[in-house]
Amino acid sequence: MGLRGCVVRLALIAGAILSLGFSAPAQTPVRLALDWRYEGPAALFLYGLDKGFFSDEGIDLTIEPGSGSREPVQRVATGGFDLGFGDVNTLIRFRDQNPAADLKAVMMVYDKPPFAIIGRKSRGVGADLRSLAGKRFGAPAGDGAYAQWPVFKAINKLDDSTMKFDNVGFPVREPMLASGELDAVFGFAHSTAVSLKARGVPADDIVTLLMADYGLDLYGNAIIASPKFLAEKPETMKAFLRALVRSVRAAAADPDEAVASVLKRNEGARRDVEAERLRMAIEQYVATPWAKANDFGGIDPARWSRALDQLALGAPLKDRAKAEETFTDAFLPEESARKLAFPS
């Protein structure tokens, strides 16, 4: 064998050795169902996907948009998705109505729920809840905020006999409020209020009544996992949550950069609008006083108990013990890893 042949053979051997020693780790496919379209808050997940945080953990993550915070529960329950980002209260109800179901909430992302009634001053809606009497509301049947109206009115002792609730589709909710066909709507504050401003409704004419500011103790959106995924891939679950903490931390540190991950997937989105939605979600729902003082992703057991009490005001829970077990912290990263440097 000549010198050239020896060099080529050595190069091939060296390449084989390097490929064996530095091969990429196997990637586990994971499917995540979001609660809504690719809007600002989706950057909490998409930014980490684009930055490689999930692939660093050996996860080949697919993220799909949704059409409401209640939908991910069904999408996970039917087996189409491993994980969902959706309303934990809907999950509690689902488990209560389906005794065999054992879907779990494994990380609380929205410590404060975005549930809101958004109205217009020019239509007579104000900060005083008594101003809601006699008003016409847009109330989408699948909306997470409207789902909690029975609880909210019970807590605040509201008489809704003079109120009219129209079942309107999500696409026409904000346009109907902007045009004056409705006095107020149910929705998530960061979605509806910001959309109204983008449609030209003056900011000082928009009234946002966050239900959590009027006595509602419920939690908001959580990471929901199927029992099959938890049983078969517990380490992947833990890895996903580690990556998500990194993603939320990075998005909170630079929302303007993070929102680029939304814009590349939503051609009709505007940077200023989606950045405002993302900052609002971080500041109001994620970076709450409790989350700042404690560890992101967990729950306060005393508040959890109060939340279950409040849910029962809307409709009694059949199995309180099963409801209490909806959330588990067994897959969360250690506490020190969940200390987030939230914006002040």
- Taken in order of first residue, the domains within the chain and their CATH numbers are 28-112+219-338 (3.40.190.10), 115-214 (3.40.190.10)
Summarize the confidence of residues 71-76 as an average pLDDT.
Answer: 97
Binning pLDDT at 50, 70 and 90, where does residue 23 land?
very low
Q: How far apart are CA 123 and CA 183, in angstroms?
A: 5
Q: Which of 62, 67, 64 is nearest to 87 (CA)?
A: 67
Cα(163)–Cα(177) distance, integer angstroms: 16
Q: Give the chain's mean pLDDT.
A: 92
Nearest-angstrom CA–CA distance, 37 and 191: 10
Give the per-residue pLDDT at 334: 86
What distance in Å separates the CA atoms of residue 281 and residue 196, rounded to the nearest whole number?
A: 17
Burial letters for 263-287: b for 16+ Cβ neighbours within 10 Å, e otherwise? Answer: beebeebeeebbbbbbbbbbbbbbb
pLDDT band at 342 (very low <50, low <70, confident <90, very high): low
Q: What tens digit of pLDDT does each residue of 230-250 get?
A: 999 999 999 999 999 999 999
The candidate with the shortest Cα–Cα distance to 140, out of 173, 117, 180, 162, is: 173
**What's the pLDDT score for residue 338?**
82
CB hemisphere CA count around 232 (13 angstroms): 9
pLDDT, tens digit (0-9, with 9 covering 90-100), for 294-326: 889 999 999 999 999 999 999 999 999 999 999
pLDDT tens-place string over residues 100-145 = 999 999 999 999 999 999 999 999 999 999 999 999 999 998 899 9
More confident residue, 65 or 21: 65
Token couple for 123: 């239509």
CA–CA dist 26, 256 (Å, integer): 32
Q: Say what percent of the chain tops pLDDT 90.
A: 85
Nearest to 47 by CA among 188, 311, 256, 198: 256
Q: Using the predicted structure, report yes or no on whether residue 173 has a pLDDT greater than 80.
A: yes
More confident residue, 112 or 340: 112
C-alpha to C-alpha distance for 25 and 59, rounded to whole angstroms: 10
- pTM, 2 dp: 0.90
pLDDT at 344 over 50: no
pLDDT of residue 341: 64
The 10s digit of each residue's pLDDT in 28-53 is: 999 999 999 999 999 999 999 999 99
Q: What is the mean pLDDT of residues 46-62?
A: 98
Name residue, tokens 């007579």: 124
